[in-house]
Amino acid sequence: MASGRFQAWVLAARPATLTAAVVPVVVGSALAARDGVLRVGPAGAALGAALLIQIGTNLVNDVDDFERGADTAARRGPTRVTQSGLLTAREVRRAAWIAFGAAAVLGLYLVAHAGWPILALGITAIASGIAYTGGPWPLGYRGLGDFFVFAFFGVAAVVGTYYVQAGATAISVWVASIPVGALATAILVVNNVRDHDTDRIAGKRTLVVQWGERAGRAEFIGLLALAYLVPFGLALTHLYSSWILLPWFTAPWAIMLGRSMATCTDTPAFNPILRSTARLHLLFGLLLAAGLLCAA
């Protein structure tokens, strides 16, 4: 029984999605190391806070999507613990608050180290995680989920990680955050294309529901293209060596995913695409971090 509940909590945390919280911290820390301002303590706290906010957001999403009718027995994605009855809504919501609270504790350390900008960022990140599917105006139900993911799992996370170590930021840091956010958003787009029918019925007006499934597939391919254009553009500036092109070793994988996304018609078949996109995001991010370290 205990083992079953442990597995249920693992499912609730959605470990396959947690790389989306790790990658921006790795890239931001690589930029800090390149500039000689790497600080292990703040970097570790940023990683912990990012993971906890991701877990808290996942838990809130699990409960609220079920209570709003977006997660039903007709859903074809991975198991959701509230909908399946593995855990109660009260248990999952309480765990979400614990995760956000623990993230806030780490945030206090970061605020003490880097000041009020991190306080503002932390409050906004936690509030957005709660409001993603919760509250009176859930972001994910208003077509703002894509913007939320790009902003917080790309730009804010990379720039914030760098800032807590350097005490400042730079244009190069903002630019490096773009492919991280683009690929994180691509993960969400796969999810939204897969679930567009049940989302429409539940009134969850994602961009795919508003613009159509074909537009969602095009958005996915456009996000992949954007991710690969950034290191190419940085290489053209001649401010970096050719090491900045390391992420391009994953381009064949991205092309394969783009083709799969463009042609997939079987709803359950989107799940392998979802997992593969998350893995692409991780590998791309690690290679980008390595390229930034070597290309200075």
| pLDDT tens digits for range 139-171 | 888 889 999 999 999 999 999 999 999 999 999
Whether residue 248 has pLDDT greater than 90:
yes
> Rounded mean pLDDT of 209-234?
95
Q: Cα torsion at 187, 206, 192, 139 (round to 10°)?
A: 50
Q: Percent of the chain beyond pLDDT 70?
A: 95
Structure tokens at 284: 């791309």
At 197 the pLDDT is 86
At 77 the pLDDT is 67
Banded pLDDT at 30 (limits 50, 70, 90): very high
Whether residue 72 has pLDDT greater than 80:
no
Q: Which of 289, 295, 296, 294 is nearest to 29 (CA)?
A: 289
Q: What is the pLDDT of residues 186-201, one digit of tens each?
A: 999 999 999 888 888 8
Q: At what angle do helices 89-114 and 40-67 cross, to 10 degrees?
A: 150
pLDDT, the chain, mean: 91
Whether residue 241 has pLDDT greater than 90:
no
Whether residue 245 has pLDDT greater than 80:
yes
Report CA 154 to chain centroid distance, whole Å. 7
At 66 the pLDDT is 82
Q: What is the pLDDT of residues 12-23, one digit of tens each?
A: 898 888 999 999
Whether residue 43 has pLDDT greater than 90:
yes
* Vertex 127 angle, CA 207 and 77, to 5°: 45
Q: What is the pLDDT of residues 266-283, one digit of tens each?
A: 777 888 999 999 999 999
Whether residue 184 has pLDDT greater than 60:
yes
At 2 the pLDDT is 58
Whether residue 180 has pLDDT greater than 80:
yes
Positive or negative, the CA dihedral 206, 212, 216, 222 is: negative
CATH number for the domain spanning 226: value is 1.10.600
Q: Which domain, by its residues, includes 266?
A: 2-295
Whether residue 296 has pLDDT greater than 90:
no
How many structural domains comprise the chain?
Answer: 1
Helices of type H across the chain? 2-13, 19-34, 40-67, 81-84, 89-114, 116-131, 145-150, 156-166, 171-194, 196-202, 207-211, 213-236, 251-263, 270-295
Whether residue 261 has pLDDT greater than 70:
yes
Whether residue 1 has pLDDT greater than 60:
no
At 202 the pLDDT is 81
At 3 the pLDDT is 65
At 288 the pLDDT is 96
Whether residue 73 has pLDDT greater than 70:
no
Whether residue 138 has pLDDT greater than 90:
no
Whether residue 112 has pLDDT greater than 60:
yes
